[in-house]
């Protein structure tokens, strides 16, 4: 009988935390990676790592063998849902998967053009049990994407004075683990946010206080942001996505706060100050 949980995006922000939590709690898991060489010291050892690539359909069936539940992460670079994600969902159902927990995006229900909306819609259309985790902007973007800028005492994003209800990926992973292992989450969607909405001036002040060195939010224009990112070699597609994300914040659409996370975890979400303290070595 199928009993394992397949975690996609196992090297990524949320997936790696989900692997870690499930493993600690003794669940049988398969951690999906594109290449076994991507497993480094930061990831949980003693886990069954399997090859899985949305762009290589021949990897689906072996990875899904013995799997009853799927944690589904859409890789940020994959926008062609019909071509790359839907076949993986079909393969999961064919392999006997009974429940999909999908890492989605806050506000997806109002934004049918984002890939996450198309994935949600496809999952609903095929009739499999699901949990959609519609997450707000990750705090960990500051320790990954913006790590170098912050090391150089700057936050460089074109978000104006807009506020964001940042969430820590460790909280998303905690909710994901509940949805993957406990009853009561079937066919539910949750809007997962932090419990404070901050602008980047406030975030820079928190970095300054916690790290004990000045970090400044330079509030670049979209043109300044584009120019620097382009010179740094990022693709036009990637820069466009970043600009769209930070424009959403600039316009005030990223500030929504919900109580879903607290209701599920019975505790407050991790706050920005705590995140900076926990990850201080990054900067
Ligand atoms: N970042 C945010 O603030 C935020 C907020 C809400 C929702 N989201 C959504 O969360 C999802 C994850 O975003 P993220 O930024 O946190 O990325 P991430 O999960 O840290 O990184 C992407 C993951 O996907 C894997 N991957 C890449 N290409 C793949 C492929 N062809 N087949 C299988 N796996 C592949 C990568 O593995 P490798 O090691 O093989 O590269 C990596 O584990 C995205 O759908 C994003 O839109 C993000």
Ligand 1 binding pocket includes 118 (Cβ within 6 Å): no
pLDDT band at 224 (very low <50, low <70, confident <90, very high): very high
Alpha carbon nearest to ligand 1 atom 33, residue:
53
Ligand 1 binding pocket includes 137 (Cβ within 6 Å): yes
pLDDT band at 269 (very low <50, low <70, confident <90, very high): very high
Is residue 47 included in any domain, yes or no?
A: yes
131 with 153, same domain? Answer: no
82 with 145, same domain? Answer: no
106 with 231, same domain? Answer: no
| Rounded Cα distance, 259 and 168, in Å | 15
Looking at the predicted structure, is the pLDDT value of residue 276 above 80?
A: yes
144 with 10, same domain? Answer: no
By most ligand atoms within 8 Å of CB, the mutation choice from 19, 31, 60, 73 for ligand 1 is 73
Number of domains in the chain: 2
pLDDT digits (tens, 9 = 90+) for 27-49: 999 999 999 888 888 877 789 99
Distance 212 CA to ligand 1 centre (A): 32
Distance 73 CA to ligand 1 centre (A): 6
Looking at the predicted structure, is the pLDDT value of residue 236 above 80?
A: yes
> What is the per-residue burial (b if ≥16 Cβ within 10 Å, else e) of 229-262?
beeeeeeeeebeebbebbbbbbeebbbeebebbe
CATH number (domain holding residue 113): 3.40.50.720
By most ligand atoms within 8 Å of CB, the mutation choice from 54, 75, 134 for ligand 1 is 75
83 with 105, same domain? Answer: yes
Ligand 1 binding pocket includes 84 (Cβ within 6 Å): no
- What integer is the mean pLDDT of 180-191? 98
pLDDT digits (tens, 9 = 90+) for 111-168: 999 999 999 999 999 999 999 999 999 999 999 999 999 999 999 999 999 999 999 9
Yes or no: say if 14 and 170 are a contact pair by the CB < 8 Å rule. no
pLDDT band at 71 (very low <50, low <70, confident <90, very high): very high
pLDDT band at 66 (very low <50, low <70, confident <90, very high): very high
Count of H-run helices and E-run strands, the chain: 11, 9
Average pLDDT for the chain: 96
* Residue 13 φ/ψ region, left for φ over 0, alpha for ψ in the -120 to 50 degree band, beta for the rest: alpha
């Amino acid at each position: 009988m199928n009993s394992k949980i397949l975690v996609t995006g196992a090297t990524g922000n949320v997936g790696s935390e989900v692997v870690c939590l499930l493993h600690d709690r003794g669940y049988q898991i398969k951690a999906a990676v594109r290449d076994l060489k991507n497993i480094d010291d930061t990831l949980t050892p003693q886990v069954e790592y399997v090859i899985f690539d949305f762009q290589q359909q021949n990897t689906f069936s072996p990875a899904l063998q013995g799997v009853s539940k799927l944690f589904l992460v859409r890789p940020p670079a994959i926008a062609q849902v019909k071509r790359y994600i839907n076949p993986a969902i079909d393969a999961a159902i064919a392999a006997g998967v009974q429940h999909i927990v999908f890492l989605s995006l806050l506000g997806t229900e109002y934004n049918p053009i984002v890939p996450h909306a198309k994935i949600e819609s496809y999952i609903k259309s095929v009739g499999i049990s699901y949990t959609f985790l519609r997450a707000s902007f990750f705090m960990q973007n500051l320790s990954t994407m913006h790590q170098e800028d912050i090391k150089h005492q700057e936050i460089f994003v074109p978000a104006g004075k807009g506020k964001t209800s940042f969430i820590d990926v460790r909280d998303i992973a905690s909710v994901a683990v509940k949805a993957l292992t406990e009853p009561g989450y079937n066919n539910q969607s949750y809007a997962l946010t932090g419990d404070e909405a901050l602008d980047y001036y406030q975030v820079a002040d928190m970095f300054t206080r916690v790290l004990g060195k000045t970090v400044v939010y330079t509030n670049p224009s979209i043109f300044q942001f584009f120019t620097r990112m382009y010179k740094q070699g990022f693709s036009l597609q990637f820069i466009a996505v970043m600009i769209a994300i930070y424009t959403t914040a600039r316009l005030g659409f990223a500030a929504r706060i919900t109580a879903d996370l607290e209701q599920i975890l019975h505790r407050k979400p991790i706050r920005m100050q705590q995140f900076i303290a926990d990850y201080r070595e990054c900067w």
